[in-house]
Amino acid sequence: MKVIALIGSLREDSYNRQLIETIEKRYHTMFNLEVAPIGKLPFYNEDEEMYPPKEVEKFKKMIEDADAVFISTPEFNWSISGVLKNALDWLSRVEKPIAKKPVLLMGVSQGGLGTIRAQLHARQILTSVGAVMMPAVSNEILIGGAGQKFENGELTHEVTLQYIDEVMERFLEFVKKEQDQ
Protein backbone atom coordinates (compact mmCIF):
# COMPACT_ATOMS: atom_id res chain seq x y z
CA MET A 1 0.00 0.00 0.00
CA LYS A 2 1.26 3.47 -0.89
CA VAL A 3 0.49 6.38 1.43
CA ILE A 4 1.32 10.03 0.83
CA ALA A 5 1.62 12.32 3.85
CA LEU A 6 0.93 16.05 3.89
CA ILE A 7 2.54 17.87 6.80
CA GLY A 8 0.96 21.24 7.51
CA SER A 9 4.05 22.66 9.18
CA LEU A 10 7.15 23.77 7.33
CA ARG A 11 9.32 23.75 10.45
CA GLU A 12 11.93 20.99 10.12
CA ASP A 13 11.58 19.86 13.75
CA SER A 14 7.81 20.23 13.94
CA TYR A 15 5.94 17.75 16.09
CA ASN A 16 3.67 17.01 13.12
CA ARG A 17 6.72 16.00 11.07
CA GLN A 18 7.94 13.90 14.00
CA LEU A 19 4.54 12.19 14.20
CA ILE A 20 4.67 11.25 10.50
CA GLU A 21 8.26 10.02 10.88
CA THR A 22 7.22 7.92 13.90
CA ILE A 23 4.34 6.45 11.92
CA GLU A 24 6.64 5.70 9.00
CA LYS A 25 9.03 3.76 11.28
CA ARG A 26 6.33 2.02 13.30
CA TYR A 27 4.24 0.79 10.36
CA HIS A 28 6.86 0.37 7.63
CA THR A 29 5.81 -3.26 7.09
CA MET A 30 2.17 -2.26 6.47
CA PHE A 31 2.63 0.50 3.88
CA ASN A 32 5.15 2.68 2.08
CA LEU A 33 4.96 6.28 3.23
CA GLU A 34 6.22 9.28 1.30
CA VAL A 35 5.96 12.91 2.35
CA ALA A 36 4.73 15.33 -0.31
CA PRO A 37 6.76 18.58 -0.36
CA ILE A 38 3.85 21.02 -0.07
CA GLY A 39 6.08 23.92 0.99
CA LYS A 40 7.38 24.15 -2.58
CA LEU A 41 3.96 24.61 -4.18
CA PRO A 42 3.16 28.04 -5.63
CA PHE A 43 0.08 29.80 -4.33
CA TYR A 44 -3.08 28.45 -5.90
CA ASN A 45 -4.11 30.64 -8.84
CA GLU A 46 -7.28 29.91 -10.81
CA ASP A 47 -5.62 31.40 -13.90
CA GLU A 48 -3.12 28.50 -13.80
CA GLU A 49 -5.38 25.62 -12.79
CA MET A 50 -5.85 24.24 -16.32
CA TYR A 51 -2.09 24.28 -16.97
CA PRO A 52 -0.51 24.24 -13.52
CA PRO A 53 3.21 24.60 -12.82
CA LYS A 54 5.28 21.40 -12.96
CA GLU A 55 5.59 21.10 -9.17
CA VAL A 56 1.79 21.15 -8.90
CA GLU A 57 1.45 18.49 -11.61
CA LYS A 58 3.98 16.30 -9.78
CA PHE A 59 2.17 16.82 -6.47
CA LYS A 60 -1.23 15.95 -7.96
CA LYS A 61 0.27 12.82 -9.53
CA MET A 62 1.64 11.73 -6.14
CA ILE A 63 -1.85 11.95 -4.65
CA GLU A 64 -3.47 10.28 -7.67
CA ASP A 65 -1.08 7.31 -7.42
CA ALA A 66 -1.51 6.89 -3.65
CA ASP A 67 -3.84 4.40 -2.03
CA ALA A 68 -4.40 6.76 0.90
CA VAL A 69 -3.37 10.14 2.32
CA PHE A 70 -2.31 11.11 5.84
CA ILE A 71 -2.64 14.75 6.81
CA SER A 72 -0.84 15.90 9.94
CA THR A 73 -1.75 19.46 10.77
CA PRO A 74 -0.74 21.95 13.41
CA GLU A 75 -3.36 24.39 14.65
CA PHE A 76 -2.78 28.00 13.67
CA ASN A 77 -5.39 30.47 14.94
CA TRP A 78 -7.97 27.68 15.42
CA SER A 79 -7.51 26.46 11.84
CA ILE A 80 -5.13 24.71 9.46
CA SER A 81 -1.95 26.31 8.20
CA GLY A 82 -1.85 28.37 5.03
CA VAL A 83 0.56 25.94 3.36
CA LEU A 84 -1.84 23.05 3.95
CA LYS A 85 -4.84 25.04 2.73
CA ASN A 86 -2.92 25.95 -0.42
CA ALA A 87 -2.10 22.28 -1.08
CA LEU A 88 -5.73 21.26 -0.57
CA ASP A 89 -6.86 24.03 -2.93
CA TRP A 90 -4.64 22.65 -5.70
CA LEU A 91 -5.98 19.12 -5.03
CA SER A 92 -9.58 20.28 -5.21
CA ARG A 93 -9.50 21.68 -8.73
CA VAL A 94 -9.74 20.22 -12.26
CA GLU A 95 -8.75 16.51 -11.85
CA LYS A 96 -9.43 16.56 -8.08
CA PRO A 97 -7.07 13.70 -7.22
CA ILE A 98 -8.10 13.79 -3.55
CA ALA A 99 -11.74 13.06 -4.41
CA LYS A 100 -12.72 9.54 -3.30
CA LYS A 101 -9.28 9.11 -1.72
CA PRO A 102 -9.17 7.70 1.86
CA VAL A 103 -7.72 10.36 4.16
CA LEU A 104 -6.64 10.06 7.79
CA LEU A 105 -6.37 13.33 9.71
CA MET A 106 -4.04 13.77 12.66
CA GLY A 107 -2.30 16.57 14.44
CA VAL A 108 0.00 17.57 17.27
CA SER A 109 0.16 20.70 19.39
CA GLN A 110 1.51 21.88 22.71
CA GLY A 111 -2.00 22.73 23.91
CA GLY A 112 -4.37 20.42 25.72
CA LEU A 113 -6.91 20.08 22.90
CA GLY A 114 -4.46 18.82 20.34
CA THR A 115 -5.53 20.16 16.97
CA ILE A 116 -9.27 19.63 17.21
CA ARG A 117 -10.26 22.97 15.68
CA ALA A 118 -7.82 22.61 12.79
CA GLN A 119 -9.04 19.09 12.14
CA LEU A 120 -12.66 20.25 12.11
CA HIS A 121 -11.76 22.79 9.44
CA ALA A 122 -9.74 20.23 7.50
CA ARG A 123 -12.65 17.79 7.67
CA GLN A 124 -14.98 20.48 6.21
CA ILE A 125 -12.56 21.19 3.38
CA LEU A 126 -11.97 17.52 2.61
CA THR A 127 -15.68 16.71 2.69
CA SER A 128 -16.35 19.52 0.21
CA VAL A 129 -13.88 18.04 -2.28
CA GLY A 130 -15.09 14.46 -1.92
CA ALA A 131 -12.29 12.89 0.12
CA VAL A 132 -13.34 9.81 2.07
CA MET A 133 -12.84 9.72 5.83
CA MET A 134 -13.79 7.38 8.62
CA PRO A 135 -16.22 8.75 11.21
CA ALA A 136 -14.31 11.05 13.55
CA VAL A 137 -15.55 9.35 16.72
CA SER A 138 -12.81 7.04 18.06
CA ASN A 139 -10.64 7.76 15.02
CA GLU A 140 -9.29 11.21 15.85
CA ILE A 141 -5.55 11.44 16.40
CA LEU A 142 -5.40 14.60 18.49
CA ILE A 143 -2.10 14.79 20.34
CA GLY A 144 -1.85 17.57 22.91
CA GLY A 145 0.95 18.25 25.38
CA ALA A 146 3.52 17.41 22.71
CA GLY A 147 6.50 18.39 24.85
CA GLN A 148 5.77 15.52 27.23
CA LYS A 149 5.07 12.90 24.53
CA PHE A 150 8.00 13.28 22.12
CA GLU A 151 11.65 12.55 22.81
CA ASN A 152 14.57 12.90 20.42
CA GLY A 153 12.28 13.52 17.44
CA GLU A 154 9.96 10.57 18.06
CA LEU A 155 6.59 9.98 19.70
CA THR A 156 7.32 7.85 22.77
CA HIS A 157 4.12 8.16 24.84
CA GLU A 158 2.99 4.53 25.04
CA VAL A 159 -0.74 5.18 25.62
CA THR A 160 -0.83 7.46 22.56
CA LEU A 161 1.08 4.93 20.47
CA GLN A 162 -1.35 2.16 21.46
CA TYR A 163 -4.29 4.35 20.48
CA ILE A 164 -2.67 5.15 17.12
CA ASP A 165 -2.15 1.39 16.60
CA GLU A 166 -5.91 0.92 16.96
CA VAL A 167 -6.79 3.79 14.64
CA MET A 168 -4.23 2.64 12.08
CA GLU A 169 -5.69 -0.87 12.07
CA ARG A 170 -9.18 0.52 11.47
CA PHE A 171 -7.94 2.91 8.79
CA LEU A 172 -6.07 0.25 6.82
CA GLU A 173 -9.19 -1.94 6.88
CA PHE A 174 -11.20 1.11 5.75
CA VAL A 175 -8.81 1.68 2.82
CA LYS A 176 -9.14 -1.98 1.75
CA LYS A 177 -12.94 -1.71 1.80
CA GLU A 178 -12.82 1.49 -0.25
CA GLN A 179 -10.55 -0.17 -2.82
CA ASP A 180 -12.94 -3.13 -3.11
CA GLN A 181 -15.87 -0.87 -4.00
pLDDT in the model for residue 32:
98
Nearest to 172 by CA among 134, 143, 140: 134
pLDDT in the model for residue 75:
96
pLDDT in the model for residue 181:
85
CA atoms of 37 and 24, how far apart (whole Å)? 16
* CATH numbers and ranges of domains, the chain: 2-180 (3.40.50.360)
CA atoms of 79 and 86, how far apart (whole Å)? 13
pTM greater than the 0.85 cutoff: yes
CA atoms of 109 and 118, how far apart (whole Å)? 11
pLDDT in the model for residue 101:
97
Contacts of 33 (CB under 8 A, 6+ apart): 3, 4, 5, 20, 23, 24, 27, 70
pLDDT tens string for the chain (181 positions)?
999 999 999 999 999 999 999 999 999 999 999 999 999 999 999 999 999 999 999 999 999 999 999 999 999 999 999 999 999 999 999 999 999 999 999 999 999 999 999 999 999 999 999 999 999 999 999 999 999 999 999 999 999 999 999 999 999 999 999 999 8
